[in-house]
Amino acid sequence: MGEQLQQEINRRRTFAIISHPDAGKTTLTEKLLLYGGAIHLAGSIKSRKTQRHAVSDWMEIEKQRGISVTSSVLQFDYGGCRINILDTPGHQDFSEDTYRTLMAVDSAVMVLDAAKGVETQTKKLFKVCKERRIPIFTFVNKLDRFGKAPIDLMDELENVLGIRSCPMNWPVGSDGRYRGVFDRQTKLVELFAADETHGQETRTSQKFTLDAPELREVLDEETYQALLDDITLLDEAGEAFDEKKIACGELTPMFFGSAMTNFGVQNFLEEYLRLAPPPAVRSSSDGDIQPADERFSAFVFKIQANMNPAHRDRLAFIRIVSGKFERNMNVWHASSDKVIKLAQPQQFLAQDRQIIDEAWPGDIVGLFDPGVFGIGDTLSDESHKFRFADFPVFPPEKFARVQAKDTMKRKQFVKGVEQLTQEGAIQLFRQAGAGVESYIVGTVGTLQFDVLTYRLKSEYGVDIELVMQPFEVARWLTYPDEKPVTPESLRGADRGMFVYDRNDRPVLLVNNEWSLGWITDNNPSLQMHTVPPDRKEI
């Protein structure tokens, strides 16, 4: 198997597209599928109408989850490569789900709207990629419209994100008069034919050398001169292409194009596949796990419940790290210390889910989950027991007291809340001294509360009462000598709310940094942690 395993690894590219809503992530994904031959006409992944990003519309998308989820992991082939695109949820609000997806990829494509440059959501997602030191490829989109000057966008990447860029191609023509791209490696100008299909079909183009008389005939003098000047400037003053710097996320290869009108999409795809890394090693309790290790291993990065309301199923998405995955194989599940049979594995292609028989490192497989899996869980060969390094966690910033309106529904309420906690959508706390009738729920954004309300109602039939709490900061508390921290032992515990997390670890919720300062000053031996003390923070 060794040789086949290595071949399968070499041809895999697993990545996510990160962007601010509306920059063109969905359109670019569609176009990659179009060029990959996985769909025939663009516009078919999701109905455009379901793509609005406001909360209410996002709920609509969730209602049609059969569609939105099957398009959240896409696999297709191009030029001998097997490509896995992991979609990061596109809604406005900050979501942990998005970040976890980034834990499962080997590189990222950052889409920027040429007119808007680097936007808030891009910054947050970029930070996670940067911390993981994965290669980041930049696609500057919407070149068919008026936008910022390419040089200014390069400056913006450096000043706002702190990453230098190396343009792989350069736009020919600007401000809506975009004609094509100059490929800096082949030194060829590629001009695109007029689009008569509104981007629904792949686009034809013609290539010219810079000094070709035909090029001079079709480009006006001003555009041609501007291109020559830019090329000279880039060659003299631009950052040199450096594969090592790209590999560790210090330099981003930059591409220009327009996803909607299919400008530069194919060139981007080909260059991306050439430069992007195959599946990477992962650190674990047993050192680095190499993809070519024949012993199977994988980790759970996402759990999605009730995707099909008719079946109330729950899928755990795993990313394969090493070895070959086979249907019905037995694996060791680290968290429960049990051997589990992996039946009915699923893979995703555009709108179809299909049962698969085998998969390789870099691939994403959806497993039917009877409720045993948690985010970050390790699955491995029975002969090789270890755990992958824990996922980093996010400090919660919003808190609400939550209880079932109808106390008779308490059982369903607890089940639903536990489920969402296991999926990683919310963090659960219990107030010291309070009864078990209510929980304190912590999240990283307010959208999660809407999701909580909606899902408890639609999936568990429970109406909840939700009262926002004025806290913005949570701190896990310890003493150096492992003496337990209790509300009584803490001076100023009443300045916030003393709660326990799911593992009964003490946590203090306070309004602001000022209150935190007071607690610190008055409890000299107290240690405070922004996330549970055994976890790493993002």
Provide the binding-site residues for ligand G4P, judged by CB under 6 A. 19, 21-27, 48, 51, 90, 141-142, 144-145, 258-261
Which of residues 4 and 120 has its CB atom nearest to ligand G4P in the complex?
120
Q: Nearer to ligand G4P by C-beta: 144 or 271? A: 144
Smallest separation (angstroms) from ligand G4P to the CB of 262:
9
On whether the CB atoms of residues 477 and 530 are closer than 8 A, the answer is no
- The H or E element that residue 378 is part of is strand 378-380
Please state the closest distance from residue 264 (CB atom) to ligand G4P, in A: 9
Query: What distances in angstroms separate CA 99 from CA 190, 290, 356, 452, 538, one per listed residue?
Result: 36, 23, 27, 19, 9
- On whether the CB atoms of residues 215 and 180 are closer than 8 A, the answer is no
> Closer to ligand G4P at the Cβ: 59 or 340?
59
Which CB atom, from 46 or from 82, has the smaller least distance to ligand G4P?
A: 46
- Which CB sits closer to ligand G4P, 76 or 439? 76
Q: Which of 97, 111, 102, 112 minimizes the C-alpha distance to 447?
A: 97
Rounded to a whole number of angstroms, the minimum distance from the CB of residue 171 to ligand G4P is: 12
Contact (CB, 8 A) for 417 and 453: no
Nearest distance in Å: CB 326, ligand G4P: 35
Rounded CA gap, 198 and 331, in Å? 48
Nearer to ligand G4P, 268 or 429 (CB): 268
* Helix, strand, coil % over all residues of the chain, rounded to 5: 30, 30, 40
The answer to whether 485 touches 477, Cβ cutoff 8 Å, is yes
Strand 378-380, strand 12-19: pairing: unpaired
Residue 366 identity (one-letter amino acid): G
Nearer to ligand G4P by Cβ, of 26 and 380: the residue is 26
Q: Which pair of structure tokens corresponds to residue 309? A: 């309301």
Task: Please state the closest distance from residue 52 (CB atom) to ligand G4P, in A.
Answer: 8
Task: Please report how close the Cβ of residue 445 comes to ligand G4P at its closest, in angstroms.
Answer: 17
Q: How far is the CB of 147 from ligand G4P (least distance, A)?
A: 10
Minimum CB distance to ligand G4P, residue 502 (Å) = 34
Task: Name the DSSP class of 159.
Answer: I
Would you tell me how many other CB atoms lie within 10 Å of the CB of residue 459? 17
Question: Residue 528 gets which letter from DSSP?
Answer: E
How far is Cα 353 from Cα 473, in angstroms, rounded to an integer? 41
Q: Is there a contact between 264 and 202 (Cβ–Cβ < 8 Å)?
A: no
Report the alpha-carbon distance of residue 169 to residue 190 in Å, rounded: 10
Min dist CB 82 to ligand G4P, Å, is 24
Q: Quote the DSSP letter at residue 486.
A: -
Of the pair 23, 276, the CB lying nearest ligand G4P is at 23
* Residue nearer to ligand G4P on the CB measure, 52 or 63: 52
Q: How many residues does the chain have?
A: 538
